[in-house]
Structure 1
């Protein structure tokens, strides 16, 4: 069995405004609903757990009623840090494999999802990445230096793990070095395996991302992937 934890426990300060970014409308409904629909269309049997800000649990219930959103999912309260939100969700996760996905990434491709689930069976911890296109510089105080971009990859979600592995990793205390689930799992000595992600799988964090997402949604309207 597969569990998807869709993390939407933050309030999206970079987007601005008073509404958390996961609840902003993309075309005709909240971004988070698009993301849940994307995962459900890939695997209708997967357990879906959604983390939400504790102050917005009632708001989400009202949104589901307003938009007649009926995809079955469990809701857990988000914590102070993303780490805490995932830890709360893991208590309810019953799958043999657990995927953690950002609630504001509605465009992961089904081919990427298939590859992640294929690879995790032999590698235990798998994440999607895409190459860096821009030039990079390492900044240290007043100095900076060019670094080879081929040494770096941009990390996406969902990140998929053997259930026993990620649950063990989340038994430890939070550290500032934990920027995603892979970094948490890596900290207990696990090796992270990379697969190619898809360019459209953007994380909607600011207004321009929302505009780009609208274009992607329009382009994907006639696509099955």
Structure 2
């Protein structure tokens, strides 16, 4: 079967943790907004990539300014987000009209590589899903009541995006009623009884949430360039 490729980029964040009046996805990174780099990564991964950008209506003007920075405009649709990530992804999925490999990605992960995007695509074709993960390097402790205990970190992984699925798995999952226990797309798809496939993510695929992250991303981009 021939699958289309659809990237749903969710960019609903505000600037609170960045101590910034500008939402973090629009902050400047190497001379371009964070969100520009994210969109560019998906546009570069596959020439037939369809991009659905999901963000608050108040940010549509910002987003249109970003699109003007592209020499060749990607195939992109801008959609209004919902009250939660679940509802924003649900809105984005309404644009998936044909069998597709669907990537759901954080707008504030601008350093995702084309290599990882393609690896997620290949794994989703084989396994139905592809969730990039990295190992935990720090020791962790579990807090329970007033006590705490060491936990074996080898039993845990840190989850990244793009969380990638065949449309035949993710579309029915997002018809479920919203549950606060849905922390990401994988937890929604698992609710329908589908195990999810993990694959190696990238240390550099960081999420921009704090001022320090922007500094790190700047250095990583410079090294890459």
TM-score by length of 2: 0.93
Q: Which residue of 2 aligns with 1:92?
A: 95
Distance 2:202 2:66 in 1: 29
Query: Structure 1 residues 114 and 71, CA, compared in 2 at 3 Å: closer, same or farther?
Result: closer
Q: Which residue of 1 aligns with 2:158?
A: 154
Deviations 1:84-137 (Å, cap 9, x if unpaired)? 110001001235211111111112223322221111122112100000000010
Q: Which residue of 2 aligns with 1:205?
A: 209
Query: Structure 1 residues 135 and 172, CA, compared in 2 at 3 Å: closer, same or farther?
Result: same
Q: Which residue of 2 aligns with 1:7?
A: 10
Secondary structure of the residue aligned to 1:2 is strand
Pick from 10, 32, 35 the counterpart of residue 32 of structure 1.
Answer: 35
Deviation at 1:141, TM superposition (A): 2.1
Deviation at 1:9, TM superposition (A): 2.1
Query: Which consecutive unaligned segments of at least 5 residues does structure 2 have?
Result: none
Distance 1:54 1:84 in 2: 14
Query: Structure 1 residues 60 and 114, CA, compared in 2 at 3 Å: closer, same or farther?
Result: closer
Secondary structure of the residue aligned to 1:83 is helix
Count of matched residue pairs: 220
Query: Which consecutive unaligned segments of at least 5 residues does structure 1 have?
Result: none
1:44-193 superposed matches below 5 A: 44-65=47-68, 67=69, 70-94=73-97, 95-193=99-197
> Contact between 1:159 and 1:182, CA under 8 Å: does it hold in 2?
yes
Deviation at 1:68, TM superposition (A): 5.1
Distance 1:68 1:150 in 2: 42
> Contact between 2:130 and 2:197, CA under 8 Å: does it hold in 1?
yes
Deviations 1:189-213 (Å, cap 9, x if unpaired)? 1101100011100011110000000
Distance 1:178 1:37 in 2: 28
Secondary structure of the residue aligned to 1:13 is coil
TM-score by length of 1: 0.93
Deviations 1:120-159 (Å, cap 9, x if unpaired)? 1221121000000000100012110000000000000001
Name the Cα RMSD after superposition.
Answer: 1.4
1:210-225 superposed matches below 5 A: 210-221=214-225
Distance 2:146 2:5 in 1: 48
> Contact between 2:7 and 2:104, CA under 8 Å: does it hold in 1?
yes
Distance 2:123 2:67 in 1: 34
Distance 1:36 1:58 in 2: 16
